[in-house]
Structure 1
Amino acid sequence: MRDIFKSQPVYTIRYYGHELKYNAQQILQDKYIQWCADQVWTAFILAAIIAAVVCVITFFVTTWILGHQGKQQSEDEITGGRQLTDDPKAVAKMLRRDGLASDIKIGELPLIKDSEIQNFCLHGTVGAGKSEVIRRLMNYARQRGDMVIVYDRSCEFVKSYYDPATDKILNPLDARCAAWDLWRECLTQPDFDNVSNTLIPMGTKEDPFWQGSGRTIFAEAAYLMRNDKDRSYSKLVDTLLSIKIEKLRSYLKNSPAANLVEEKIEKTAISIRAVLTNYVKAIRYLQGIENNGESFTIRDWMRGVREDGKNGWLFISSNADTHASLKPVISMWLSIAIRGLLAMGENRNRRVWIFADELPTLHKLPDLVEILPEARKFGGCYVIGIQSYAQLEDIYGQKPAETLFDVLNTRAFFRSPSRNIAEFAAGEIGEKEILKASEQYSYGVDPVRDGTSVGKDMERVTLTRHPLRASAAGAAGTGGVEPELKTKAEEAEQLPPGISESGEVVDMAAWEAWQAEQDELSPQERQRREEVNINVHRAPEKDLEPGGYI
């Protein structure tokens, strides 16, 4: 019996016409069969390893994809508007790639090619860095050999850039001042009218009759003196301000200004002369500069520009302690230079730089508003520095200030401690249109009703919020709507008793007691109280595991 149970089946194998009989033990001990078994086992192990690797890779790829999608769902999505970056190298690389990078650089950021003829505006409070940007642009202009006109209120740039061999200075209180000649500068009646428009600015609130009359008298008197062999600034000042009204009336006889000094309206004439005195008295500082050498005119100096050579600079400067007295004359010279650009002829390849830091410290320059939009055709590059846009509105008026600001296409905004000015700067920097993500958590009596949903709402926001108010941060106070918002947030975050912030039941007794209380309510009351919706905007967290946004 033992042999029967131990007997093994016999297998018949036909091999090339022969019949071979083997039992199971003989087959298992056969070397060829063992080799085949080893091959099968090796293939199985290899397949298992490959399958495990594929599964792991698939798991991580799937987790990453789902996590990435979850992250996108929980992040704000930019759909339009501008974008702000703090990486100038990336912008520089993009400009060089597109062939738009200029050789003018501010730090590591190159300007857009030929954008200098679209004018600059530097906006920021005192000591914010406007002068540093101006110096970098000046260094480029000096290296290239461009013609430059600088309004230097405190002689800061004169000390750094003045070259006596090629440059000129216009400052009545500087011994190096050029011998500027009013009557060689102004050849026609309209030239004298343009000079008087800047020398005697039109106020924004006063009756324009008084300034207009003063302009007329100055322009006519200066025009009549052009043929006087003994003409001088001293004689012009005496004629306008010192001689008796009868002699002035006689001097202006048969001119358009004669009616303004008529004997019948002598009191009016005296009032006009009083207004004239406030501005024309600045001309007395020009007395004696005609002895400083060869006569000089801004118009002829600008016409002498060399297209292929090194050009000189013109510094229109004043001293800080005497600026208020010289303001009419400084404004007049800068206005002449602005208008002189048109006399040079159109040339987009030429560069004539006009730097006017702290422009609002001068009188209103009517020529600036008119000429600035056309200056690019003549190669004009205006760099204007202001402390705030409100200064432009105060001097030029609302509409002219908007026109002037609109043609200053390259703008740099620096620190502005004032809230209103900072908001203006933020608005000018631009806005972006975003889909703002928000998560909604819903909790109910039945756990099936608990859930999380993500939604996005369209919003338009400024790229910066009070971007340049760093100096005012220490003075910022609390209050206002902040306590109210905090209270509302706390009320919204009240969860049912026994429920943690993560949605887990941590106190079953409290939770069951709350459920029993809900059962006693009417269906309407239960519906109102059983769900708590909390709108939360969650910023992306760092160091999350793959799939952490799901």
Structure 2
Amino acid sequence: MSFNAKDMTQGGQIASMRIRMFSQIANIMLYCLFIFFWILVGLVLWVKISWQTFVNGCIYWWCTTLEGMRDLIRSQPVYEIQYYGKTFRMNAAQVLHDKYMIWCGEQLWSAFVLATVVALVICLITFFVVSWILGRQGKQQSENEVTGGRQLTDNPKDVARMLKKDGKDSDIRIGDLPIIRDSEIQNFCLHGTVGAGKSEVIRRLANYARQRGDMVVIYDRSGEFVKSYYDPSIDKILNPLDARCAAWDLWKECLTQPDFDNTANTLIPMGTKEDPFWQGSGRTIFAEAAYLMRNDPNRSYSKLVDTLLSIKIEKLRTFLRNSPAANLVEILPEARKFGGCYVFGIQSYAQLEDIYGEKAAATLFDVMNTRAFFRSPSHKIAEFAAGEIGEKEHLKASEQYSYGADPVRDGVSTGKDMERQTLVSYSDIQSLPDLTCYVTLPGPYPAVKLSLKYQTRPKVAPEFIPRDINPEMENRLSAVLAAREAEGRQMASLFEPDVPEVVSGEDVTQAEQPQQPVSPAINDKKSDSGVNVPAGGIEQELKMKPEEEMEQQLPPGISESGEVVDMAAYEAWKQENHPDIQQQMQRREEVNINVHRERGEDVEPGDDF
């Protein structure tokens, strides 16, 4: 409410202008309806009664109207009455008492009443129809007109009806929204911060997969899905630290060299921050060693580990020539041909870029067609999500008023301007509650704002059962790894250029003897030469170890390529150097290798499932 004079003037002028314009439209409508009313009355009378009955009825009602004034009329009028081709002459008294004339009057009155009712009903209907048409046109002028882009709806049932009408609705649903039939092979992406609802969607998809009997591989870091879905009769756990882990034979799984390469690519993912040489080298070493051991009747994981850790460092250069590319970027587009379906749960698109790089992340994200965007608190990530949901192209309506003291200046001007706008703003993404998301489907279907409800599920199995790992074997493995790393550093120093480090003799002396008092410098001839030499007056040169000494570092029975060629000699050497541990390793093949890595380095797509 405002009592400002300017505001009251503007409001009064606009209200007065609207009243005048409404009065103009109302007068035009009433004038047209009045004419239309009598036209309808005449048409109904023309249909109901004949012309003769109409004329005679009019004469009867005219005489009835003048009956009270008959004494005032000196000369009584005479009327010509038509009766089926004959003409009769009657005065007013005769007209009022003639049975035929009375019948004509009654017929005319009945037809007139009927015509009036019919015309009135039609006029009322016409009035509302015209008002609705004019109102609709006015509303269209004041509303934005969509010309392209994607639409947004908060009613998933509307989209469900559209899919059913097109015959594309699937039996898989996310809440009340069905996905497009057979679109699961085009992959899913669940984007949003932690605790927003991604795992709930994955659980619902897992329920449908279990009902359909589909095979599912779930990357479950937290054990939530093991707790709710693990069935020992049909499910397998592939976690070497879990006591329920299935016994996996690498050499029965991999039959050819490409199979070993694919396994190496999976076990050693390609990062973006580190030098790809090291990941590629590790892949090649593992694939080659496992492939060479495929025909060994005494093959085992322990023997494979010993072989990998016994390879001569100089021979690595023959293996490390090619670095296989990350296979996840290739699997997603190719797995569709074999019925593969991927569901990725990521906290942000930046997470993909950090793991796979900018171009690879764009490739991965592009093959995920069905997407659900949950809350993203960050401004940039929320803007990215809003852009991926889509935008609409529309003609934006604008309305301007002009008014003045003279009514001639009063008027309203309307117009529309082309504009492109995102369906949702980044603030809408930031303010989404838990279990609420925007879902986009492939194809010309609207984006849907979908709200889910958490479904409680019973606990059917423990999340994790730790495996009893032999600590002595673990310690031995750690010791061997430390020894190999030391050898690697020693070998790396051999490839460094032999450039002596130039330091001042005074700095070296002060560093080595900080407790001695400072003595005056001795002025001799050598000090005038201007050449600084290391402490001690000599240069220490790193010398390459001879080939014979390097070969002596290998255990007996191991070739230069790292392959066990004499098992008896190698076993005797192990019994001599590690009798207790070797005896335990022979009794049991350890299938779990605890690779010491930081938790943050194990980030994979689908971080939360």
TM-score range, shorter chain: 0.5 to 0.7
Q: Does the C-alpha gap of structure 1 residues 237 and 50 become closer, same or farther in structure 2, counting only changes over 3 Å?
A: same
Superposition pairs for residues 456-535 of structure 1, below 5 Å? 456-466=416-426, 467-470=428-431
> Secondary structure, in 3 states, of the residue corresponding to 2:341?
strand
Number of aligned residue pairs:
362
Aligned residues of 2:377 and 2:430 also touching (Cα < 8 A): yes
Matched, 1:123 2:84: no
Amino acid of the residue matched to residue 326 of structure 2?
A: P
Q: 2:312 aligns with which of 221, 226, 249?
A: 249
TM superposition score normalised by structure 1 = 0.59
**CA, structure 1 residues 36+205, in 2 after alignment: closer, same or farther (shift >3 Å)?**
same
Q: What's the offset of the Cα at 1:369?
A: 0.6
Question: Residue in 1 aligned with 2:368?
Answer: 408
1:181 aligns with 2:284: no
Alignment gaps of 5+ in structure 1? 242-246, 261-363, 474-550
Q: 1:48 aligned to 116, 140, 151, which one? A: 116
Indicate yes or no: 2:116 matched with 1:155. Answer: no
Which letter does structure 2 place at the counterpart of 1:154? S
The offset of 1:11, in angstroms, is 6.2
Greater Rg over alpha carbons, structure: 2
Mapped partners of 1:145, 1:459: distance in 2: 48
Deviations 1:10-31 (CA, angstroms, capped at 9, x unpaired): 5687999999775333333334
| Alignment of 1:418 onto 2:486 | no
- From the superposition, tell whether residues 157 and 239 of structure 1 become closer, same or farther in structure 2 (CA, over 3 Å): same
* Shift in CA distance, 28/259, structure 1 to aligned 2, threshold 3 Å: closer
User: Per-residue deviation at 1:395?
Assistant: 0.5
| Equivalent in the alignment of 1:382 | 342
- Of residues 25, 31, 38 in structure 1, which corresponds to 2:93? 25
Q: Confirm or deny that 1:71 pairs with 2:71.
A: no
Q: Distance in 2 between matches of 1:62 and 1:158?
A: 66
- 1:207-236: CA deviations, max 9, x gaps? 333444444444444444445555443444
Identity %: 75
Report SS of the residue matched to 2:377. coil
Contact 2:156–2:177 (CA<8 Å) still a contact in 1?
yes
Deviation at 1:372, TM superposition (A): 1.3
Q: Shift in Å at residue 7 of structure 1? A: 4.7
Greater strand content? 1
Give the CA deviation at 1:240. 4.3
- CA deviation digits over 1:418-472, x for unaligned, max 9? 2211211111111111111110112345431221011111111111112322269
What's the CA shift for 1:259?
10
Q: 1:212 to 1:90 in 2, by over 3 A?
A: closer
Q: Is the 8 A contact 2:271 2:356 kept in 1?
A: no
Are residues 236 and 156 of structure 1, via their aligned partners in 2, closer, same or farther at CA, if it must alter by over 3 Å? same
* Secondary structure of residue in 2 paired with 1:435: strand
Q: Per-residue deviation at 1:155?
A: 1.5
**Per-residue deviation at 1:182?**
3.0
With over 3 angstroms needed to count, the CA separation of the structure-2 counterparts of 1:255 and 1:164, relative to structure 1, is: same
The match for 2:359 is 399
| Greater Cα offset, 462-471 or 141-150 | 462-471
- Aligned residue identity for 2:349: Y
SS of equivalent residue, structure 1 residue 403: helix
Q: Conserved in 2, the CA contact under 8 Å of 1:198 and 1:365?
A: no
Verify the 8 A CA contact 2:187 2:370 in the aligned structure 1. Answer: yes
**AA matched with 1:400:** A
Unmatched tracts of structure 2, length 5 or more? 1-70, 435-609
Find the residue that maps to 1:143 and give its secondary structure: helix
Q: Distance in 1 between matches of 2:278 and 2:89?
A: 135
Residue identity matched to 2:252? R
Cα distance in 2, alignment partners of residues 380 and 456 from structure 1 = 48
Task: Tell me how far apart the structure 1 counterparts of residues 389 and 163 of structure 2 sit (CA, whole Å).
Answer: 20
Letter matched to residue 107 of structure 1 = G
Question: So what's the TM-score if we normalise by structure 2?
Answer: 0.54
Match of 1:484 in 2: none
| Residues 38 and 232 (structure 1), Cα distance of their counterparts in 2 relative to 1, 3 Å cut | same
Distance 1:213 1:20, change over 3 A: closer
Give secondary structure in 2 for the equivalent of 1:150.
coil
Q: Deviations over 1:244-295 (max 9, x none)?
A: xxx6318x859824999xxxxxxxxxxxxxxxxxxxxxxxxxxxxxxxxxxx
